[in-house]
Amino acid sequence: MIRKAVNSDFPILCKYYKEFDEKGFDLFNKGPFSNLLVYEKDQEIVGFINYSIIYNRAELDYIYVDERYRRNNIAYELLEFCIEDAITSGCENITLEVNEHNQAGLSLYEKFGFKKAAIRPKYYHGEDGILMIRELKKDE
């Protein structure tokens, strides 16, 4: 089940977020455009997605699945939810950034039709970041 995060989800999200990004926990303080959703399985939170819908464009900030539950289509369902929300909200496109060596992420995004749009050299501790975009208009 995918649902909005609530305050009691804070500890587990904090744990997941630290594994993903050492910069610190700010998922709950990203402002009015930010959406934070969790994936719950047997009453346990096993993943989350954080994305922003800013007027006519959407941005995927984080997607994460607990290691024990990977390769079960959970990220697929979370990203599908995000894209549907963006389409419903009238967004023209959705963008994201991923480390050049993150094969799981790259493959997930390519599966959803994201295309490489630009390289941000040395963005991730010396490794390149790849900016990806997917158009959301019906005829594209």
Ligand X SMILES: CC(C)(COP(=O)(O)OP(=O)(O)OC[C@H]1O[C@@H](n2cnc3c(N)ncnc32)[C@H](O)[C@@H]1OP(=O)(O)O)[C@@H](O)C(=O)NCCC(=O)NCCS
How far apart are alpha carbons 73 and 2 in whole angstroms?
Answer: 13
Q: How many residues bind ligand X (CB under 6 A)?
A: 19
Q: Based on CB atoms, which residue is closest to ligand X, 89 or 99?
A: 99
Residue from 104, 118, 119, 127 that binds ligand X (CB under 6 A)?
Answer: 104
71-77 contacts: CB < 8 A, separation 24 or more? 74/39, 74/41, 74/46, 74/47, 75/47, 75/108, 76/108, 76/111, 77/2, 77/39
Among residues 15, 18, 41, 111, which is the contact residue for ligand X, using CB under 6 A?
111
- Strand pairing partners for 34? 52
Q: Is 103 in the site for ligand X (CB under 6 A)?
A: yes
Q: Which of 13, 37, 86, 98 binds ligand X (CB under 6 A)?
A: 98
Q: Which is nearer to ligand X, 130 or 136 (CB)?
A: 130
- Tell me if 63 sits within 8 A of 54, measured CB to CB: no
CA–CA dist 129, 97 (Å, integer)? 6
For ligand X, give the closer residue by CB, 105 or 139: 105
The interface region with ligand X, picked from 7-15, 27-35, 72-80, 126-134 by CB under 6 A, is: 72-80
Which 33-62 positions form the footprint of ligand X (CB under 6 A)?
A: none
Q: How many CB atoms lie within 10 A of CB 72?
A: 14
**Which residues bind to ligand X, rule: CB under 6 A?**
20, 63-65, 70-76, 98, 102-105, 107-108, 111
